[in-house]
Structure 1
Amino acid sequence: MRKSQRGQSEQSIQTRLLQAIFEQRMPPGARLTEEALASAFDVSRTTIRQVIARLSQDGILVKLPNGATHVASPSRHEAQQLMVVRRMIEPEIVKILASKAADICFDELSAHLNDEDRARRDGDRGSLVRLTGEFHLHLVRLTGNQVLIRLMTELQALVCLAILLYANGDDGCPVQEHRRIVTAIKKQDGASAANLMLSHLEHIERDLKLDEKPVLHISEALTWLGQREASLARS
């Protein structure tokens, strides 16, 4: 992976931007500029241009004809389409994992579930939103299927933006739903794991609505990104 001259690599910048989306710090529809992002990450605008191009290709950022770049803002209809695709894919993912559960190391996934529990206990909503979204990415990574991994990363980012726009509650992933899915996978019960996943996704979709939008500002997200990079540079 090509490195930037001063700051982070293109891949690490993409990861940080996705984290900002998963933690619901990056507001849907916000305008991003190469200059602001280059300053936040202390990299060249050329590096940022490459990042924007990749995330635009994935549909997470949107480049307008006038050259402006915005964070994607899925419509309610688009959010429904995203969930249709997830209902098609994710029950099959857990079936695959259940079929080879004897050969899978679940240590990282178990640690992740513990992190979710800790975030709930601490009332750390930003981390909890990120972690509950990343749970689904942990599952798909265990398949080792790179096509599925790329697809699920894009879907999860867009669904996080839809949740930020339309979700009725603080958390579309109630306590124990993730653990029940993992337990079924470990028991090699693919049918139960698939049904639990389908029910879980339907719960998330029911939590989406149109009439409330949080008031967020892109300046807050850029400040957060800059502070994180400065902290990493000092460590």
Structure 2
Amino acid sequence: MSASSRADLTYQSLRRAIIEQAVKPGAKLREDEIGGHFGVSRTIVRAALARLHAEGLVDIRPKRTATVAAPTADEARAIFEVRRCLEREVVAILARCWSASAKAALLAHIEDEDTAGRRGDHAGAGRLAGEFHIVLARLTGNALLERYVSEVVSRSSLILAVHGRAHRADCSTAEHRGVVAALDAGDEERAMRLMAEHLQAVIGRALPDQASQDEPSLTAVLARYGAP
């Protein structure tokens, strides 16, 4: 595997572990432990952590070990305010450029969500539920909009990890199907209303949560994310 491939694998694996909440907010991300697991230099690890920091997923402070970000309640409110605005625009754009291929892509993604939920992969189902919104943004053809939606969706996963209740895949997929059905019917107003209601349900899960105990070591978690 090339150096660039190892660097991307390190970044993607860490990002997925964070979004799936396998590595909890506040957890230390030791460069030597990560580098040893992936067989990469500290330079590559630092580059991966810098990318995650730019996305708001990792906190990096001078002379301190990087940690998974832990959004405060005020930060959570600000992130969801921005997310509401962005996703409203996503739905409006998609309503104007809706196509059979967009419908097929979204329904296929929802089926992946359902499959993950049925097999008990709750972390994967939660990640896919968030990625549904990124797929929506990607289908607008606006790369900048996709980037911003991807960032707020990723940060939302941290908010739910810090403040939230457990994800219910059956609720998300039903709500996602409703948005797709409204878009397919050409009902932009209904699609926007359903998206707003869906996001409100996501926000409603951002409630105080019991602190988790007996968390696995970083090495044990990353062992699940080492395959290309």
Same fold (TM over 0.5): yes
Instruction: Please identify runs of 4+ aligned residues in structure 1 that moved more than 4 A.
Output: none
Inter-CA distance 24–101: structure 2 relative to 1 (3 Å threshold): same
More divergent stretch after superposition (165-174 vs 201-210): 165-174
Give yes or no for contact 2:164–2:206 (8 Å, CA) kept in 1.
Answer: yes
Task: Work out which of the residue numbers 35, 47, 51 in structure 1 matches 2:44.
Answer: 47
Task: Work out which of the residue numbers 67, 71, 78 in structure 1 matches 2:75.
Answer: 78
Q: Which residue of 1 aligns with 2:203?
A: 205
Q: Which residue of 2 aligns with 1:4?
A: 3
CA RMSD of aligned residues (A): 2.1
Inter-CA distance 22–57: structure 2 relative to 1 (3 Å threshold): closer
**Number of aligned residues:** 226
Q: Distance in 2 between matches of 1:188 and 1:14?
A: 39
Inter-CA distance 173–45: structure 2 relative to 1 (3 Å threshold): farther
1:167 aligns with 2:164: yes
Q: Which residue of 2 aligns with 1:20?
A: 17
2:168 is matched by which residue type in structure 1?
D
Q: Distance in 1 between matches of 2:150 and 2:46?
A: 20
Inter-CA distance 18–185: structure 2 relative to 1 (3 Å threshold): farther
Equivalence map 1:100-111=2 (5 Å): 100-102=97-99, 104-111=101-108
Inter-CA distance 204–177: structure 2 relative to 1 (3 Å threshold): same
1:147 aligns with 2:149: no
- Is the partner of 1:106 in helix, strand or coil? helix
2:92 is matched by which residue type in structure 1?
K
Q: Which residue of 2 aligns with 1:60?
A: 57
Give yes or no for contact 1:91–1:193 (8 Å, CA) kept in 2.
Answer: no
Inter-CA distance 20–216: structure 2 relative to 1 (3 Å threshold): farther
The alpha-carbon deviation at position 14 of structure 1 amounts to 2.3
List gaps (5 residues or longer) in structure 1.
none
- Is the partner of 2:3 in helix, strand or coil? coil
1:158 aligns with 2:152: no
Q: Distance in 2 between matches of 1:119 and 1:112?
A: 11
1:33 is matched by which residue type in structure 2?
R
Q: Which residue of 1 aligns with 2:191?
A: 193
TM-score (normalizing by structure 2): 0.90
List gaps (5 residues or longer) in structure 2.
none
Give yes or no for contact 1:96–1:190 (8 Å, CA) kept in 2.
Answer: no
Inter-CA distance 12–186: structure 2 relative to 1 (3 Å threshold): farther
Inter-CA distance 61–216: structure 2 relative to 1 (3 Å threshold): farther
